[in-house]
Amino acid sequence: MSTRLLIIGPPGAGKGTQASRIAERYGIPAISTGDIFRANIKGGTELGKQVQAIIEQGELVPDSLTNEIVRDRLHQDDAQGGFLLDGYPRNVEQVHALDDMIDGDALVAVVLLEVDTDEVVSRLLKRAEIEGRVDDTEEIIRHRQDVYAAQTKPLVELFGERGILVAVDGIGAVDEVTERIFSGLDAQLASKTVA
Ligand code: B4P
């Protein structure tokens, strides 16, 4: 069975932090749409120029662009045995696009990192001091939380109905959160293998 996973949660929940650990444990690539966009902005590519202003304002990049990037990435050799998508899908349209790319039933688990708004805002303000990401100003951070609530949060119910949601408390030390994710994922993977 190929290990096809998603990780979702509000901006600042620790998705990127946990994604690399999950990917290493299950031997799959972690694919972050946010990282792909930032690398293109840094490299000054045509895609980077198209998305820079959108990301700086904390808006979502248009689905047409984002879906194509993911489609291309999932065709690469290293994703054939499974993958972890980080930050995608982010709205219902992207879920439908992903369902078309991979047969929706092929998703094994969706990790939901649960962290309240005050905690995520304070984490991102701390990151702003260290990394200086342009979308980590307080105003844009709060706007990104609103975009998450309006567009991404509805996906939690949708994946819950599919019986693949693994909800994890994202508050606590990074290692503790990782252990919670591993135990939730191991149980979900075992149930899928038996089914
Ligand atoms: P992302 O790159 O996904 O940015 P993010 O939501 O802020 O998550 P990130 O992974 O960076 O933060 P994390 O929670 O790991 O997206 C950026 C932008 O790209 C979007 O706003 C949008 O414009 C665009 N985009 C991306 N995907 C898209 C899509 N599918 N469709 C349309 N547009 C898209 O970590 C946050 C901080 O918390 C880190 O500093 C970390 O050190 C810290 N942290 C982690 N775990 C912690 C813990 N347990 N305790 C304390 N701090 C912790």
Taking only the tens place, the pLDDT of each residue in 35-83 is 999 999 999 999 999 999 999 999 999 999 999 999 999 999 999 999 9
Predicted confidence at residue 192, as pLDDT, reads 81
The model scores a pTM over 0.95: no
Task: For residue 182, count CB atoms less than 10 angstroms from its CB and return exposed for 0-12, middle for 13-18, buried for 19 or more.
Answer: middle
DSSP secondary structure letter of residue 75: T
Give the pair of three-digit tokens for residue 132.
């200086």
Task: Determine the Cα–Cα distance for residues 97 and 68; give it in Å rounded to an integer.
Answer: 9
Indicate the pLDDT class of residue 193, thresholds 50, 70 and 90.
Answer: confident
CB under 6 Å to ligand 1: residues? 11-17, 32-34, 37, 54-55, 58-61, 66, 87-88, 90, 94, 123-124, 127, 135, 144, 172, 174, 177
pLDDT at 104 over 80: no
Task: Determine the Cα–Cα distance for residues 189 and 195; give it in Å rounded to an integer.
Answer: 10
> Which residues are within 8 A (CB) of 138 and not within 5 positions of it... i.e. 6 or more apart?
121, 125
User: Atom 12, ligand 1: which residue's CA is nearest?
Assistant: 12
Atom nearest to 127 CA in ligand 1: 40
* Average pLDDT of the residues of the chain: 95
Please identify every residue annotated as catalytic.
15, 90, 127, 133, 144
Q: 28, 60, 16: which is closest to 170 by C-alpha?
A: 16
Predicted confidence at residue 195, as pLDDT, reads 58
| pLDDT tens, position by position, 126-185 | 999 999 889 999 999 999 999 999 999 999 999 999 999 999 999 999 999 999 999 999
Q: Residue 130 is which amino acid?
A: I
Atom nearest to 135 CA in ligand 1: 21
Give the pair of three-digit tokens for residue 157.
């119910």
